Amino acid sequence: MSRFVDPQHADFRAFNDSISFDRRLAPYDIAQSRAHASMLAAQGIISDAERDELLQGLDQVERELNDDVFPFSDSDEDIHMAIERRLTELASPVGGKLHTARSRNDQVATDVAMFVRDAARRAHDAITGVGEVLIGLAESHLDWPMPGYTHLQRAQPVYLSHHLLAYVWMLLRDRARFVAVLDAASVLPLGAGALAGVNFDTDREMVARELGFTSIAENSIDAVSNRDFVLDYLAAAATCATHLSRLGAEIVLWSSQEFGFCELSDAWSSGSSIMPQKKNPDAAELLRAKAPRLAGHLLALYGVMHGLPLTYNKDLQEDKEHLLDAADTLELSLRAADGMLQSISFHRPRLEQAASDEFLAATDIADLLVRRGVPFREAHGVVAGLVRAAIDQSKTLSELTPDDLAEHSPDLDEEYYALLRDRTWLEKKVSAGGTSLSRVREQLECARAALR
């Protein structure tokens, strides 16, 4: 019996029903129903026998879902009603008691929180995995020099290990964000009822313990209106994907014939339908391309929540598709980053040659002057003049003559030539966090410890 006279319109059903996507929440729905039934019995709201019937019914529902034989009905608008309907068929009339002291509003918030918790854990672990691959690469390419770039112009040489480790620090921040997401999603909504609490003396702490939540939502209105934990997940995912997009973009760049710094394995590359010679870094391109998708999901959910009056509104149903696709996309991206990096190869000669460009030593020459008492700003000007002179004469810096040098500064002598010859530019970057080998080794230790 319902208060409605007419059945729902087919177009309304198509617009309104969520079962095509929320069926992925089934495992959480069953778990929370088990905990809810146990609590109802523990509090004497249903009998132990009724609880047992409910639990057996839920076991059967779970088996049917796992075996893909669950008899979905056309009238199932969402997974929650589908499971309750089926349970009532299996455990009639006791099945109808499961929804005592519960509403779909707190139920669905709980399912989503449980999904977010699992997704945060999965992201955490996958990030750790990619971090380990990067650390492995840093170790095996510890002393490979390459140009460091600012503005995509060669700036100062660094070790490839140092560059790769930069991504590990990004990933460590990402991982910390997912830990915070896990916390944010560990406050139990269940027990808030529709919005006001329920007419029964329930034990929400018991349910929280059973489901692994660390606390309960203290305000029933907030409990059913809140989707912060989804926003938190989406923001963490968008930031992580943005980091991966930078990695992807660099690999695309480095795979070009012009850079020639690295090559993806065949197993992570694509060909062309028309150009037989092509080997395309599709995996890296897609890694780059996925970040806006996650930002789009975040944005969309901000839009849904914007200006929404309390408490539950149907608009909140939009949370799920954004969340599910975001989790799938992020997890796939992390798996792709992992696999792609495991089989990437770098080309030492190309890296080394690019890193030996003498202009990369310009700062070092300026610092040589600084050590002789020239203020840095002035030293910078002197070297800029040398650079201009070299370019004008189509010379390298070491091809400038002592007379050329003398025109710019009285402080440039043989040590100038030695500096360009000895190429200790990298090893002079001795400051903490710098690219000298000893500092990179320290850093590796530190990153490895942090990742553990």
Torsion of CA 241, 351, 424, 367, to 10 degrees: -60
d(CA 107, CA 36): 10
Specify which residues 280 forms β-bridges with: 270
Phi and psi torsions of 156, nearest 5°: -145, 150
Segment 5 to 44, residues that bind a copy of itself, using CB under 8 A: 5-9, 11-12, 14-16
Q: Is 151 a catalytic residue?
A: yes
Judged by CB under 8 A, the number of residues near a copy of itself is 199
Site string for a copy of itself, 384-413 (x = CB under 8 A): xxxxx--x----------------------
Site string for a copy of itself, 116-155 (x = CB under 8 A): -------------------------------xxxxxxxxx
Segment 58 to 77, residues that bind a copy of itself, using CB under 8 A: 77
Please list, in sequence order, all residues whose beta carbon lies within 8 angstroms of the beta carbon of residue 333, skipping any fewer than 6 positions away.
Answer: 241, 244, 286, 287, 290
- Closest distance to a copy of itself from the beta carbon of 63 (Å): 22
Q: Is 272 a catalytic residue?
A: yes
Torsion of CA 112, 113, 115, 120, to 10 degrees: 140
Peptide bond into 93 cis (omega under 30): yes
User: Considering only residues 375, 399, 402, 421, which one is a binding residue for a copy of itself as defined by CB under 8 A?
Assistant: 375
d(CA 51, CA 57): 10
51 is a contact residue toward a copy of itself (CB under 8 A): no
Please list, in sequence order, all residues whose beta carbon lies within 8 angstroms of the beta carbon of residue 348, skipping any fewer than 6 positions away.
Answer: 144
The one-character DSSP state at 397 is G
Q: Among residues 20, 73, 272, 343, which one is catalytic? A: 272
Considering beta carbons, is residue 384 or 406 the nearer one to a copy of itself? 384
**128 token code pair:** 């750790």
Segment 268 to 327, residues that bind a copy of itself, using CB under 8 A: 268-283, 285-286, 288-293, 295-315, 317-318, 321-322
Segment 207 to 266, residues that bind a copy of itself, using CB under 8 A: 216-226, 228, 231-232, 235, 238-239, 242, 245-246, 248-250, 252-253, 255-259, 265-266
d(CA 195, CA 62): 29
**Residue carrying structure tokens 């070299």:** 390
30-38, 63-71, 128-136, 157-165 -> range binding a copy of itself (CB under 8 A): 157-165
Site string for a copy of itself, 319-338 (x = CB under 8 A): --xx---------xx-xx-x
Active site residues: 151, 272
